[in-house]
Amino acid sequence: MNLDKPQQWKADVLASVDLYNAWFMTFAPDAFRTARKNTAGIVLDDLRHTSYLADLSPTALKARPGTLRVLRMCTAPPLALDRLVGLAGVNKSLVQTMEGSSSEVSRLPQRLAGAALDTQLERITGVIRRLTDDYIFPWVAENSVPTQEQVERAAAIVADRLCGVLADPIIRNAQEVRQLALIHAWLTARGYVPLQRGRTFRQMPPGTFSFRLNVPVEQPETGKAINLPVDAVIQPHSAQEGDFPLLIEAKSAGDFTNTNKRRKEEAQKFTQLRAKYGPDVRFVLFLCGYFDAGYLGYEAAEGIDWVWEHRPDDMTHLGL
């Protein structure tokens, strides 16, 4: 489709950037405001859990580990994860596990417990107490009970700090939702139906599709079986029994630097898929945004083709 047509890349990059910018100006502010509103509710819950920062203790953190992400934004200045680790002298894995991630829930580490865990948590809470932002939390320094207005104002400020740190993932997630919605509409208009619940990617009848489906592969270093989440898995109408479905990874980017940092991710996925299922695996990208010739050339060299979001009908060349 596109990997072997470098003469078209420049025009496509410009069209893709224009599409992303138009979307960003129209929808990104709403996505950010919605995330900030939702985050403010989480901050309020975490503040209540700590008795509005009066109870910064190992016991409080053990009962609600994810509170730590909010507490890092309650200091002056707000603390990056690595900065907190350095100031407190604790294990980075402890903080990472407690805060969780987009794919993992917050929790306590399994290999650290008892007095050793309490010691590290006390170091963390000691740093938070010493650096608490008195401007946002005046009642802490005054040793008084906060008013509802003070609490709501503090929660709004902390939520804004959190969303500022997470701005890129918030926008990227909103863009991914939109990309998958476009693919969904394109497929259903051509008679495709969602895969029934409980079926795997190797049990897909012709004319079905699924989003964020796990495809088992093996880690190259250890050979350990892992699940590789794929954004869109589609079995064409023309597929025969046993045919491997088409795999599509939705990608968006708001600047050229970001794509050059991430371009190896897709190649690594493709390598794992071919190692497990053979050279006939079909894996393509669905691109919108700032993907320049350097990124495109890298993916093309790896044998990865792509569809531009501004030209979705190219998917017909994939047999869909």
Last residue of a domain, one of 121, 149, 166: 166
Residue 162 lies in a domain: yes
pTM recorded for the entire structure: 0.70
DSSP letter for each residue of 54-115: T--SHHHHHH-TTHHHHHGGGBSSPPPHHHHHHHHT--HHHHHHHH--SSS-----SS--HH
Mean pLDDT over all residues of the chain?
Answer: 90
- Summarize pLDDT for 151-183 with one digit per residue, the tens: 999 998 999 888 877 777 778 888 899 999 999
57 and 84 assigned to the same domain: yes
pLDDT at 193: 96
139 and 183 assigned to the same domain: no
134 and 266 assigned to the same domain: no
Band of pLDDT at residue 223, cut at 50, 70 and 90: confident
118 and 239 assigned to the same domain: no
pLDDT at 13: 94
Band of pLDDT at residue 64, cut at 50, 70 and 90: very high
CATH number, domain containing residue 256: 3.40.1350
Torsion from C-alpha of 6, 7, 11, 17, nearest 10 degrees: 10
Query: Which strands form 208-218's sheet, in the order they lie side by side?
Result: 193-194, 208-218, 225-235, 246-253, 283-289, 305-308
18 and 122 assigned to the same domain: no
58 and 18 assigned to the same domain: no
172 and 158 assigned to the same domain: no
pLDDT at 104: 60
Query: What is the domain range of residue 111?
Result: 33-166
71 and 194 assigned to the same domain: no
Residue 93 lies in a domain: yes
pLDDT at 222: 76
Band of pLDDT at residue 199, cut at 50, 70 and 90: confident
Domains held by the chain: number: 2
Band of pLDDT at residue 101, cut at 50, 70 and 90: low
- Summarize pLDDT for 268-320 with one digit per residue, the tens: 889 899 988 888 899 999 999 999 999 999 999 999 999 999 999 999 999 99
pLDDT at 188: 97
Mean pLDDT, rounded, for 63-92: 93
Look-up: residue for tokens 């371009």?
Answer: 263
Of 252, 201, 209, whose CA–CA distance to 227 is shortest? 201
139 and 237 assigned to the same domain: no
d(CA 318, CA 320): 6
Residue 1 lies in a domain: no
pLDDT at 200: 83
90 and 126 assigned to the same domain: yes
Last residue of a domain, one of 166, 201, 225: 166
190 and 269 assigned to the same domain: yes
Residue 221 lies in a domain: yes
Residue 274 lies in a domain: yes
Last residue of a domain, one of 97, 132, 166: 166
Question: Which residues lie closer than 8 Å to 151 by C-beta, 6 or more apart?
Answer: 44, 47, 52
Cis peptide before 58 (omega within 30 of 0): no
Residue 41 lies in a domain: yes
Mean pLDDT, rounded, for 59-71: 93
pLDDT at 254: 84
Look-up: residue for tokens 């010691």?
Answer: 119
140 and 246 assigned to the same domain: no
Which is higher by pLDDT, 40 or 198?
40
